[in-house]
Amino acid sequence: MNQIIINNHSYELNGEENLLKIIRKAGIELPTFCYHSELSVYGACRMCLVEVEGQGIVAACSTAPRPGMKIKTHTGRLQHIRRMALELLLANHNRECTTCERSGSCKLQDLAERFGIRDIRFGHRDQMLPVDESSTSLVRDPNKCILCGDCVRMCREVQGIGVLDFANRGSNVVVTPAFNKPLAEVDCVNCGQCAAICPTGALVVKSERPDVWKALQDDTKTVIVQIAPAVRVAIGEEFGGKPGDIELGKLAAALRRLGFSKIFDTSFAADLTVMEETREFLDRLQNNDNLPQFTSCCPAWVKYAEQYQAELLDNLSSCKSPQQMFGSVAKEFYAKEMNIKPEDLIVVSLMPCSAKKFEARREEFAHAGVRDVDYVLTTQEIARMIKEAGIIFSELEIESLDMPFGFTTGAGVIFGATGGVAEAALRAAYELVTNKTLEDVNFKIVRGMEGIKEASVDLNGTTVKIAVVHGLGNVKALLKKIRNGEVQYDLVEVMACPGGCVGGAGQPFPNDTEARKERAKGIYRADRMLQLHKSQESPVINNFYKEHLEKLTHQELHQLLHTDYGNRRRIASGEITLTGNGVEELSVSVCVGTCCYLGGSYDLLQNLMQKVEADPSLAEKVKIQATFCFENCKGSPSLKIGDEIFSKMGVEDTEKILEMIRSRVGS
C-alpha cells in the first residue's frame, strides 16, 4: 500500500519528496510564495499549510509524504490561517498596485484576488524605506518585500554569489545587500534572477521605456532596433501565446508600428561573433595559448569573472558580445552608409536580459560620450510598449526583418539557449579546420537543461574538449575543478542564467524551468526553419567581411569587434588603518581582498607592520592600511605605496618594499 489520501481521494505515491508535490499532482494548486523546486525548502510563507490526520497542521512544502497519510487541504481552520497570513503580508506591503512594475504578474496580487481579499484589517505600512535605484539593471523596493527569501536563496544557491541576505530581526527584518549598501556598490552581476523569482515588485528590472519613447518621438533621431534570439520565443507569452512560440514576424510588424525605422536581428551579430570567436579559438588551439577559451557573450558572466576569476581573464574570448558587436557595426558602418551622425542613430536592443543594460553602459562601449547601444529593453518592456500603443499583437500580419542586418543563420539564433554558442562555434570550427562539409549540424550533446554538459569533438585528428555550463553556481563548481586540474577543456561556454538567455530576467512571467525548456525548444525550431545553419555560409556575413572588415587593419578590426576585461572590486569598502597617527607622510596599503588574501598578502602585511613599527624613523611617517581590492587582482598579491601599485609582492619582498618606503619618506 503506497497510497496517500488527499481530501478523501486516494493517490499513488511516486517518490515525491514533499507533500506539496503530490498535492499539486492531484490537481490542487496550493498557494506558495517561498517554495521553488530548484531552491532549498524554506517553509516561511505558511501558504501551503495542510491538515494531516493525527499530526495537525503542517507546511506541505517541508513535510515528507508517508503512505497512509490522510490530508485535508481546505478545512475551515486552514482557510482562516491562510487568509490571516495573506492579510498580514498585505498589511506590511506597499499596496500601490496600479503604479507597480509587477502589476498583473504579481503573485501576491494574484493570491489576494484568488482569496477574494477585500479588506485589510491591519491598516498600512507606516514606515517607508528608501528604494534602491543605484543599479543599471535592477530596482529594489524593500517596501514591497514579503521576506519569502526567494531572491536570497536564488542568488546564493543557484548563482553561488549571495549578494542579498536577511538582516536585522523581528519587525525590522529586511532583505538587503551587505551593510545596506546600494546594489551598484556590491558584487551583484545584474543577472536579475532575483527579480525573475521575486513574487512581488520588491525586485524588478529597471525600465528604459521612457527613454525609448522619447527617442522614437524625436524627429531628429533615426531609431533602429536589434532583436535578441531569446526574445522571439518569449514575446508571444505576453499576448496569450505559449512559451516557445516563434513570434518574430508579428514582433517586426509591431516594432514598425511603434516607429522603429529598421528592424534588425542580434543573431546577425551572433553570426559575426561565431566567425570571430571560432577563429580566435582555432588560433589559441594551434598555439596552445590561453586555453580553455571561455565565451564572453554573457555580461553577467563577464562581470562575475572580473570580480572573482582574475587569473582567468586572459582566457575569456576577446570578442564583444553580439549586442555590442551589433552596436559597433551600426554606429561605424550603418550610420555612415545612411549619412547619419552616430549620435543621431539610436540603437535599441530587445534583450531577454537585465545584465545587458549594464553591458551597454560599460565605458569601453562608448565613444566620445555616444554609446554603441543606446538603450536596452527587455522582452517585458517591449511588450508593455506595444500594449501602451494600443497595437493588437494577435491581429498583426507577420512582416519580415530588414536587410542586411536582419538576416541570420540558425547558428546565430541558437545563441539564445544554453549550449547554443558552443554548438554554433563547432559548426564553424569543423568546417574551417577540416575543409569538409558538416552534414549533420546538430550537436545535441550540448543541448538541454543539465547544469554542466561535456562533449568531445574530433577536428581533423585533434580531439577538442568542450564544456557547457549555465547557472553561475555551476560555473563556480566547474571553475574549481578546472583549477584543481580535475578536468581539462579547450572551450567552455558560460551563460549566467539557468537555461541560458531564454531564462533571462527580462523574460515574461512565469519564468520557471518549464517555460525555459519550452523557449529553448522554440529556439531550436527556429534554427530548423532557417535555410542556413552555419554562420560561415551566411552571404550577408561573407559580404560584410569582403566589403568592410577585410579592408580594416588588424587594430581597427580588433577595436570594432573585440574588447578587453579588467579586474573589478566586489564591494565598496573602506580601509583598515593599522599604523600611523594622522601626521604620516606616506600611506602604504596592502590588499586583503580574496585573490591577494589567498596569495598570502596577510603575511606580508604582518611582516611589514612589524618592520615599520620597529623602525622609529618610519613609524612616525608611514601609515599602513589593509584595504580591499585595487582592481589589480591579476597581479595579486598587490601593494600600494603612495599612489603607485606594485604586483606580485610576497613576504620575501619585505626588504625591497621597505627600501622603497624609505626612499619615499627620505629617511
Partner 1 sequence: MAVAISASQRKFERVNEIIQKHNGKKSALIAILQEIQEEYRYLPEEILTYVATAMDLSPATVFGVATFYAQFSLEPKGKYIIKVCDGTACHVRGSGPLYKSIRKKVGLQDGKFTTEDMNFTVETVSCLGACGLAPVVTINEKVYGQMTPEGIEIIIEKLMGKEDNQ
Catalytic (active-site) positions: 277, 280, 297, 317, 356, 359, 364, 501
Residue with smaller CB distance to partner 1, 31 or 162: 162
Residue closer to partner 1 by CB (options 189, 422) is 189
**φ, ψ at 622 (rounded to 5°):** -115, 130
Q: How far is the CB of 579 from partner 1 (least distance, A)?
A: 5
Distance of CA 465 to the CA centre of its chain: 25
Q: Which residue, 1 or 583, is less far from partner 1 as judged by CB?
A: 583
Nearest approach, Cβ of residue 78 and partner 1 (Å): 31
> CB of 662 within 8 A of CB of 641?
no
Give the count of beta carbons closer than 10 Å to the beta carbon of residue 529. Answer: 10
For residues 93 and 91, give the distance between their C-alpha atoms in angstroms, rounded to a whole number: 6
Does residue 534 contact residue 411 with C-beta atoms inside 8 Å?
yes
DSSP state of 232: H
Alpha-carbon separation of residue 626 from 604, 607, 623, 653, 655 (angstroms) = 11, 13, 10, 17, 19
**Sequence-ordered strand ranges (E) for 404-461:** 452-459
Distance in Å, CB of 516 to partner 1, minimum: 26
Q: E strand or H helix at 416, and its extent? A: none
Least CB distance to partner 1 at residue 545 (A): 45
User: At its nearest, how many Å lie between partner 1 and the CB of residue 153?
Assistant: 12
Residues 633, 313: Cα–Cα separation, whole Å: 10
For partner 1, which is the closer residue by CB, 470 or 570? Answer: 570
Which secondary-structure segment (H or E) carries 432?
Answer: helix 420-434
Nearer to partner 1, 120 or 167 (CB): 167
Helix segments in 36-136, DSSP class H:
76-91, 107-114
Q: To the nearest whole angstrom, how small is the minimum distance from the Cβ of residue 570 to partner 1?
A: 8
d(CA 42, CA 212): 40
Residue 145 cell numbers, joined: 518585500
Grid cell listed for 48: 501551503
d(CA 246, CA 519): 9
Q: Which is nearer to partner 1, 532 or 626 (CB)?
A: 626
User: Among residues 442 and 587, whose Cβ is nearest to partner 1?
Assistant: 587
Q: Is 388 helix (H, G, I), strand (E, B) or coil?
A: helix
Q: How far apart are CA 470 and CA 495, in angstroms?
A: 5
CB 464 within 8 A of CB 490: yes
As measured in angstroms, the least distance from the Cβ of 471 to partner 1 is 17
C-alpha cell at 342: 552616430
Residue where the block lists cell 588588424: 554
Cell of 293: 577559451
Residue with Cβ nearer partner 1 (559 or 594): 594
Residue with cell 484568488: 114
Give 406 or 593: the residue with its C-beta nearer to partner 1: 593
- Positions touching partner 1 (CB under 8 A) are 156, 161-169, 176-179, 186, 571, 573-581, 592-594, 597, 602, 606, 609, 613, 619-620, 626, 628
Classify strands 203-205 and 375-378 as parallel, antiparallel or unpaired. Answer: unpaired
For the record, the C-alpha cell of 644 comes out as 603607485
Least Cα distance to 67 among 141, 12, 3, 21 occurs for 3
Evaluated on CA atoms 327, 332, 337, 343, the torsion sign reads positive
- Taking the C-alpha atoms of residue 270 and residue 564, their distance in angstroms, rounded to an integer, is 18
Nearer of residues 162 and 510 to partner 1, judged by Cβ: 162
**How crowded is residue 87: how many other Cβ atoms within 10 Å of its Cβ?**
16
Count the neighbouring beta carbons within 10 Å of the beta carbon of residue 456. Answer: 11
Per the document, the length of the chain is 667
Q: Which of 240, 516, 230, 236 is CA-nearest to residue 349?
A: 230
Cα separation, 159 vs 161, whole angstroms: 6
Minimum CB separation of residue 178 from partner 1 in Å reads 4
CB nearer partner 1, residue 100 or residue 163:
163
